[in-house]
Amino acid sequence: MDGIRLDNPYLGNEEEKRRTLFRNNENVIYLENDSCEVFDITIDGCPCTPKFCGGFQYPRQSTQPKMLWGQIPEDCDILISHGLPA
């Protein structure tokens, strides 16, 4: 396979390859529980989705998605996520 998979069950060592690929590309701003500012606009990227806690990649009864969601800055202008918070 020439590409990389982004789905969790098949990541294996590819998760680190994906992060390295995105972080080493000067044309990409990779936001994973992180923020950046572009033209005075604050953008935050959060892949977790508390609404689906117990679904997909989240263990049932996990508090991690809600904890990560709680770290999103209040002054965030744009939020990039997989879904709604609750």
pLDDT beneath 50: ranges in the chain: 1
For residue 68, give the nearest of 77, 4, 25, 82 by alpha carbon. Answer: 82
C-alpha–C-alpha distance, residues 55 and 52, integer Å: 5
48 beta partners: none
Helices assigned H by DSSP within 1-86: 14-23, 64-70
pLDDT (0 to 100) of residue 51: 64
Sequence-separated contacts (24+) of 2-11 with Cβ below 8 Å: 8/56, 8/57
Q: What is the pLDDT of residue 1?
A: 47
pTM passes above 0.85: no
pLDDT at 43: 94
- Phi, then psi, of 69 in degrees rounded to 5: -65, -35
Q: Per-domain residue ranges for the chain? A: 1-28, 31-86
**Residue 42: per-residue pLDDT:** 95
